[in-house]
Amino acid sequence: MGEVAVAALATLVISAVLGSIALGLAGVEDTDDASLVVIALVQTTLWVGMLGSIAVVLRRRGAGLGELGLRARWVDVPVGIVLGVVGQLVLVPLVSWPWTRLLGESSEELREPACRLADKADDPLGVALLFAITVVGAPIVEELFFRGFVQRAAVAAFTRNAPLDDEAAARTAVRLGTGFGLVVTALLFGLVHFQVLQAPALVAFGLVLGTLAHRSGRLGASVVTHMAFNATTVITLVVLSSNDDQCRDVLGVLGGLAG
């Protein structure tokens, strides 16, 4: 867990520094004023931090990506598509509704950031870039980091001290430790997106992804589910982005597209 903590901190620092440089070179203060190309560059700075941290730890341990569960089976595709779509259209509204009411925010505020992002994809190249960032790049990199790297370390750390002389107690300790590891990873996954309104839904979806990865022992299902989750929103937004009012009527975690 010490390596995970250092890796997470290094990722945030690297992303903040490189992201600020990218925005400065583009002459804008934040991503709200940036073009889609600049937003893509800022997003890749986060990936550099994540992949760099993973590479350093794996090299120190003499391990490869197989240690992170980077494997897939054909069954992961249909299962992932169904769970991703259901997660976006059903899970997200159920979790987000009470949270936005508690904060006194409207559903329009929840969806505003992603509607602005979709508005930037106003040509075929922009749409392709939006898909590359949110539907391909983010799910692969984030599943490697969160479910492959962080979650495996967390589960191992929290189940390490299970008693060896009592089988029933050992099973209970392993279940509790595993659950705690999944929750910690999901919380980190939700918080690292820095979206207050979207955080609970992202944490809930993170638990779904974590359970898939842990139960299957591979990342294939969680990667496809993550892709389908993001693609559901991106496709809807691209179709409706020509109508600003329609865009803001779409359900989903629209501010955390790159989650």
Residue 181's pLDDT band (boundaries 50, 70, 90)? very high
So what's the pLDDT on residue 101?
A: 80
> What is the average per-residue pLDDT within 72-78?
95
Whether 128 is in a domain gets the answer yes
pLDDT tens readout for residues 132-141: 888 999 999 9
Tell me the one-letter amino acid at 6.
V
Measure CA 94 to chain center. 19
Whether 166 is in a domain gets the answer yes
Whether 45 is in a domain gets the answer no
So what's the pLDDT on residue 117?
A: 67
Query: Which ranges of 104-219 does DSSP label H, i.e. alpha helix?
Result: 107-120, 124-131, 138-142, 151-159, 167-191, 199-216
So what's the pLDDT on residue 81?
A: 96
The rounded percent of the chain whose pLDDT value lies above 90 is 33
Phi, psi of 161 (to 5 degrees): -100, 25
Tell me the one-letter amino acid at 42.
V
CA distance 97 to 223: 26
> What is the average per-residue pLDDT within 104-119?
65
Q: Is the pLDDT of residue 88 over 80?
A: yes
Beta-carbon count within 10 A of 72 CB: 17
Are residues 151 and 213 in contact, defined by beta-carbon separation less than 8 angstroms?
A: yes
CA distance 11 to 7: 6
The two three-digit tokens of residue 140, written as one number:
């692969």
Tell me the one-letter amino acid at 173.
A
pLDDT tens readout for residues 8-34: 787 778 778 888 887 888 787 777 777
- Residue with more model confidence, 32 or 233: 233
* Domain of residue 131, residue span: 70-256
So what's the pLDDT on residue 243?
A: 52
Greatest mean pLDDT among 37-46, 164-173, 176-185, 249-258 lies in 176-185
So what's the pLDDT on residue 7?
A: 76
Residue 252's pLDDT band (boundaries 50, 70, 90)? very low
Whether 53 is in a domain gets the answer no
Instruction: List, in order, residues 6 or more apart from 173 with CB less than 8 Å away.
Output: 159, 161, 162, 163
The rounded percent of the chain whose pLDDT value lies above 70 is 83
- Residue with more model confidence, 214 or 252: 214
Residue whose pair of structure tokens reads 């495996």 in the numeric block: 152
Q: Total domain count for the chain?
A: 1
CA distance 141 to 199: 19
Whether 99 is in a domain gets the answer yes
So what's the pLDDT on residue 33?
A: 73
Whether 47 is in a domain gets the answer no
Whether 175 is in a domain gets the answer yes
CA Rg value for the chain: 19
Whether 151 is in a domain gets the answer yes
